[in-house]
Protein backbone atom coordinates (compact mmCIF):
# COMPACT_ATOMS: atom_id res chain seq x y z
CA UNK A 1 0.00 0.00 0.00
CA UNK A 2 1.30 3.50 -0.82
CA UNK A 3 2.31 5.76 2.05
CA UNK A 4 0.01 8.56 3.12
CA UNK A 5 2.44 11.03 1.54
CA UNK A 6 2.17 9.28 -1.83
CA UNK A 7 -1.62 9.25 -1.61
CA UNK A 8 -1.92 12.84 -0.42
CA UNK A 9 0.65 14.46 -2.69
CA UNK A 10 -0.43 12.31 -5.61
CA UNK A 11 -3.80 14.09 -5.56
CA UNK A 12 -2.31 17.49 -6.30
CA UNK A 13 -3.54 19.24 -9.42
CA UNK A 14 -0.40 21.36 -9.59
CA UNK A 15 3.04 21.42 -7.99
CA UNK A 16 4.89 24.71 -7.80
CA UNK A 17 8.10 25.89 -6.16
CA UNK A 18 7.26 26.90 -2.60
CA UNK A 19 8.67 30.39 -3.03
CA UNK A 20 6.20 31.15 -5.84
CA UNK A 21 3.08 30.32 -3.81
CA UNK A 22 2.22 33.90 -2.82
CA UNK A 23 2.44 35.02 -6.45
CA UNK A 24 0.33 32.04 -7.54
CA UNK A 25 -2.32 32.89 -4.96
CA UNK A 26 -2.35 36.54 -6.03
CA UNK A 27 -2.68 35.54 -9.70
CA UNK A 28 -5.61 33.24 -8.91
CA UNK A 29 -7.32 35.98 -6.90
CA UNK A 30 -6.97 38.42 -9.80
CA UNK A 31 -8.32 35.89 -12.31
CA UNK A 32 -11.20 34.56 -10.23
CA UNK A 33 -12.08 37.47 -8.01
CA UNK A 34 -11.17 35.66 -4.78
CA UNK A 35 -13.71 32.89 -5.40
CA UNK A 36 -11.40 30.27 -3.86
CA UNK A 37 -10.60 29.80 -0.22
CA UNK A 38 -6.99 28.76 0.43
CA UNK A 39 -5.83 26.63 3.34
CA UNK A 40 -2.12 26.21 3.98
CA UNK A 41 -0.36 23.27 5.60
CA UNK A 42 3.32 22.77 6.27
CA UNK A 43 3.98 19.05 6.01
CA UNK A 44 6.74 17.79 8.23
CA UNK A 45 7.95 14.47 6.82
CA UNK A 46 9.07 13.18 10.19
CA UNK A 47 5.49 13.29 11.46
CA UNK A 48 3.59 10.03 11.04
CA UNK A 49 0.11 9.71 9.58
CA UNK A 50 -1.37 9.57 13.09
CA UNK A 51 -0.21 13.14 13.76
CA UNK A 52 -1.57 14.38 10.44
CA UNK A 53 -4.84 12.48 10.95
CA UNK A 54 -5.38 13.64 14.54
CA UNK A 55 -4.10 17.22 14.32
CA UNK A 56 -4.40 18.57 10.78
CA UNK A 57 -7.69 17.19 9.49
CA UNK A 58 -9.85 18.08 12.54
CA UNK A 59 -8.59 21.68 12.49
CA UNK A 60 -9.27 21.82 8.74
CA UNK A 61 -12.88 20.70 9.30
CA UNK A 62 -13.43 23.31 12.00
CA UNK A 63 -11.90 25.98 9.76
CA UNK A 64 -14.28 25.05 6.94
CA UNK A 65 -17.28 25.19 9.25
CA UNK A 66 -16.21 28.64 10.50
CA UNK A 67 -15.96 29.80 6.87
CA UNK A 68 -19.43 28.38 6.08
CA UNK A 69 -18.02 25.68 3.81
CA UNK A 70 -19.40 22.16 4.09
CA UNK A 71 -16.67 20.27 6.00
CA UNK A 72 -17.48 16.93 4.39
CA UNK A 73 -16.73 18.07 0.85
CA UNK A 74 -14.60 21.27 1.05
CA UNK A 75 -15.90 22.46 -2.31
CA UNK A 76 -14.23 25.68 -3.47
CA UNK A 77 -11.19 25.23 -1.23
CA UNK A 78 -7.60 24.89 -2.40
CA UNK A 79 -5.27 23.19 0.05
CA UNK A 80 -1.64 24.24 -0.28
CA UNK A 81 0.61 21.56 1.18
CA UNK A 82 4.19 22.72 1.62
CA UNK A 83 6.62 19.82 1.54
CA UNK A 84 10.34 20.27 1.10
CA UNK A 85 10.78 23.20 -1.26
CA UNK A 86 7.56 22.53 -3.17
CA UNK A 87 3.94 23.49 -2.76
CA UNK A 88 1.38 20.85 -3.71
CA UNK A 89 -2.02 22.29 -4.57
CA UNK A 90 -5.04 20.07 -3.98
CA UNK A 91 -8.74 20.63 -4.35
CA UNK A 92 -10.39 20.49 -0.95
CA UNK A 93 -12.42 17.50 -2.10
CA UNK A 94 -9.25 15.61 -2.99
CA UNK A 95 -7.62 16.50 0.32
CA UNK A 96 -10.56 14.90 2.11
CA UNK A 97 -10.56 11.95 -0.29
CA UNK A 98 -6.94 11.27 0.67
CA UNK A 99 -8.05 10.97 4.29
CA UNK A 100 -10.81 8.56 3.33
CA UNK A 101 -8.41 6.43 1.29
CA UNK A 102 -5.72 6.21 3.95
CA UNK A 103 -8.27 5.45 6.66
CA UNK A 104 -10.32 3.22 4.34
CA UNK A 105 -13.58 4.94 5.24
CA UNK A 106 -16.81 4.76 3.33
CA UNK A 107 -19.01 7.84 3.04
CA UNK A 108 -21.05 7.15 6.17
CA UNK A 109 -18.00 6.48 8.33
CA UNK A 110 -16.33 9.62 7.02
CA UNK A 111 -19.39 11.72 7.90
CA UNK A 112 -19.32 10.32 11.45
CA UNK A 113 -15.64 11.16 11.71
CA UNK A 114 -16.24 14.75 10.59
CA UNK A 115 -19.06 15.07 13.14
CA UNK A 116 -16.65 13.94 15.85
CA UNK A 117 -14.09 16.50 14.75
CA UNK A 118 -16.68 19.26 14.88
CA UNK A 119 -17.98 18.26 18.30
CA UNK A 120 -14.61 18.56 20.04
Range of the domain at 102: 4-119
- Helix axis angle, 57-66 relative to 107-119, nearest 10°? 80
Q: How much is the pLDDT for 34?
A: 66
| Separation between Cα atoms, residue 57 and residue 52, nearest integer Å | 7
Cα–Cα distances in angstroms (integers) from residue 1 to residues 17, 94, 102, in the given order:
28, 18, 9
Is 2's pLDDT higher than 80? no
* Beta-bridge mates of residue 14: 89
Position 97 confidence tier, pLDDT thresholds 50, 70, 90: very high
Q: How many domains does the chain have?
A: 1
- Which candidate, 95, 86, 97, 79, places its Cα nearest to that of 40? 79
Q: How much is the pLDDT for 1?
A: 65
Neighbours of 39 (CB within 10 A): 20
Range 56-62 average pLDDT: 96
Amino acid sequence: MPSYLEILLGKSFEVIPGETYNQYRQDVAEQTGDSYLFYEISLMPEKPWKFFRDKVYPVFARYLKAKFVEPTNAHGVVVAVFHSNRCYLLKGEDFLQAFREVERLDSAAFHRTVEQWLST
